[in-house]
Chain A
Amino acid sequence: MKALCSCMRFVALVLILNLFFQASYQLTELQVCNLCGGIILNSSAVGQFCFFSAGRIDGRCCLRNDTTNDPEHIIGLDLSNCSLTCVQDLQGASTAFMIDLSFNPIVNISDTAFQGFNKLNYMILPQNIDCPGSNTSWEKVEIKKGNRHCEGQRNMCNETGQLSMNCPENSLCAPFGPGFFECSCAENFRGYKCLREGEFPALQVFGPLAASTVVISVLLWATQRRKAKSL
């Protein structure tokens, strides 16, 4: 009875911790939405995108969930007029389709800032900043009204047949943000550098081995050692 009580206490503790971490994760996710004050205006590019995508505006983010079970994720981010000088890490915004960074005194954008943003299709940047991943990673780059518009992220993978040329053996290429690609292991391959193929047939190897060891040992003991006297 006592054991059961302490066990249940333990389970309750785990559940509480779980909820706490989930809440704190959502908190971090929303941190980027509150990077600076104000909310998305309906007239802005992101605002209109949000409206057409049936998303919910929260601070500077446009959120949406794909199905009722999934948590909400960011599909649009409007950080214009935020007095940002340096863009390093937009945590939690990797699912965004559209990001607006216009009217910010940005000095530099870190190289890996948009790594993982494989859904990003439209960016608005100050005129003096190049599109992340260089202009060749985007279908269309134009300057409109003093802002640089980067449209249509290009797939960096050379699609020639099954396995692309960018990635080493046994791995497949997938887009991983503007100017990035990631190599994940192909079907049936796994492990470091995708060197390992298939599942080791443990039973088929060790079953017969164990059986034969036992049989031979018993046989030999019966015929040989049983007659042995201790020296």
Chain B
Amino acid sequence: MLCHSFLSKTAFCLSSYVLLHASRKTFSNVKVSISAQWTPSILNDSSPAFSPGETWQDNRLFEDEKQATLFLGILDSIFLFSYALGLYLSGVIGDRVNLRYVLCFGLCGSAAVEFVFGTLTEWLHIYNLYLYSSLWVLNGLLQSAVWPCVVAVMGNWFGKAGRGFVFGLWSACASVGNILGAFLASSVLKYGYEYAFLVTSVVQFAGGVVVFFGLLTSPKEVGLSLESETGLGPIETDTDSHKPLMSDEEDEVEVEVYGRRGQSVEQPVEPPAESPQAIGFLKAFCLPGVLPYSLAYACLKLVNYSFFFWLPFYLSNNYKWKEAQADRLSVWYDVGGIIGGTLQGLISDFMGKRAPVLVVSLMLAIGALVGYSRSPNDQVINGVLLAITGFFIGGPSNIISSAISADLGRQDALRGSKEALATVTGIVDGTGSIGAAAGQVKMKKKSNWRIKQNEFGSMRTAGSIVFITPLLVRELRAMWTERRARQRQL
């Protein structure tokens, strides 16, 4: 009975996060239809406007597709910013209010906002920039409530034992959500983009309802308790987790714990209510490793998010494929990301070192990006190249977001202080998302998406490599000295 209830908890948390990502993916998948809805028809210079005006000309929210695209990019950035902000805030809230309520509120509230954003505005024909922006800010704030709650619930139910496996599943969560969202959206897209929003928001709302009726947030609710129950979240107080990653310890299982994290804007749980912030923001920022990882993560996140937000748009604009087809094809990037995250996580676990795996993968990623930008107009080849690119970019992104907690959490300055770890991880994750958000708008200003993606993608990837290099050097040196020490022993 315990086993199946563990399973159901896992299923809850995973599916909440899956639903969230599905609805985010919906937005990126219908960008072509939305920008068509907001602009009048394009004409050759000499031809007169099409009549009747209501069918072809009258929606003039933006004069042409370029401006509409720019605004869509701004919406993405707005969402990311408010999501990052919400992560900081929801930590405070999640501590004081019942987790089940917060989780349900986040899911259902976000679903309602998405419904208003995509479906209601279309049914009522209200197209207003400020309305869209403020709704999307609200959406970001509501969605940010989900991740910390999910992490906290998992922390309540799972002791050290099952955590590696669970976090292993988790990394696939975001990508599964993307895939689900892509399929949902593409199936109903032909009826109108408003129905894509309708379906995903209703599904998400249903998920919220199920959570409300079924979730037990902690074993205490049914009178159970775990041996290593913490009530504090996955950042443990046990000494094992604070052993540095750099040394060859057999508790690589612990390393794995942080080796599997969702690949997007997550943050481990808020600091617990009892102890105050052990380290101030600025101090945490100055710790060794925080800065390089933040910057590297920002770069990588930008590339990842560019693909996430814009891939279907790019595919259907560049190759003139139908939007629904482009949506289905964009799934391959996530598939590659799942495989990449899992495989590279495993490899780096065996090696005990993160940086070499990262750097190799990132270098190959540059090659993959270049290769992808030269992809021919063929769906099969494009899909394969997408999967390869996803493998090499999704993998490091996943590991970096987990390596942060692993490495940084093992520094002497932070030993024994779980609040500080959360702060540090929060800083790195938050900075990463803000950097990614800022980069979105900058990228959209350029018109030729393909070239810019190639350049910027490679630049950003190279940037990540640059930032990780000092850590790589340190790890390689450590590996070398260990090897020599072991040889001398023999």
Contacts and interface: CB of A to CB of B under 8 A. Distances in A.
Interface of A: 115, 167-168, 171, 176, 180-185, 191-200, 205-206, 209-210, 213, 216-221, 224-225, 227-229, 231
Given A115-B51, A168-B41, A225-B216, A231 B209 contact: no
B55 A224 contact: no
B51 A228 contact: no
Contacts of A195: 33, 36-37, 192
B22 to A, nearest CB: 14
B52 A184 contact: yes
Interface string B43-55: 0000010111011
B181 to A, nearest CB: 16
Given A224-B215, A229-B223, A196 B55 contact: no
A229 B222 contact: yes
Nearest to A220: B214
Chain B: interface size category: 35 or more
A191 B192 contact: yes
Interface of B: 5, 8, 33, 36-37, 41, 48, 50-52, 54-56, 59, 98, 188, 190-192, 195, 199, 202-203, 206, 209-210, 212-216, 218, 220-223
Contact of B206 (A167, A176, A209, A228): A209
A140 B74 CA distance: 56
Describe A's contact surface by its main secondary structure. Answer: mixed
A213 B36 contact: no
A183 B56 contact: yes
B118 to A, nearest CB: 14
Given A213-B210, A217-B213, A224-B8, A200 B188 contact: yes
A193 B41 contact: yes
Contacts of A225: 213-216
Contacts of B223: 229
A77 to B, nearest CB: 22
B41 A217 contact: no
Contacts of A182: 50-52
Given A196-B191, A217-B214, A225-B213, A168 B206 contact: no
A186 to B, nearest CB: 12
A200 B206 contact: no
A185 B55 contact: yes
Given A206-B202, A225-B216, 18 more contacts: A167-B50, A168-B56, A180-B51, A184-B55, A192-B59, A193-B41, A195-B36, A195-B37, A196-B190, A200-B192, A209-B203, A209-B206, A216-B214, A220-B213, A221-B214, A224-B8, A224-B216, A229-B221
Given A206-B202, A209-B206, A216-B214, A198 B191 contact: yes
A195 B32 CA distance: 11
Contacts of B98: 231
Contacts of A221: 213-214
Nearest to B223: A229
Contacts of A217: 209-210, 212-214
Contact of A220 (B8, B55, B56, B59): B8
A205 B214 contact: no
Contact of A213 (B54, B56, B191, B206): B206
Contacts of A231: 98, 218, 220-221
Nearest to B4: A223
Contacts of B213: 217-218, 220-221, 225
Contacts of A206: 202
17 contacts: A168-B50, A168-B56, A183-B50, A183-B55, A193-B37, A195-B37, A197-B191, A198-B190, A209-B202, A209-B203, A216-B210, A219-B214, A224-B215, A225-B216, A228-B216, A229-B222, A229-B223
Nearest to A206: B202
Given A193-B56, A197-B191, A200-B192, A176 B210 contact: no
Nearest to B193: A195
B1 to A, nearest CB: 9
A219 B214 CA distance: 8
Nearest to B188: A200
B44 to A, nearest CB: 11
Contacts of B59: 192
A196 B50 contact: no
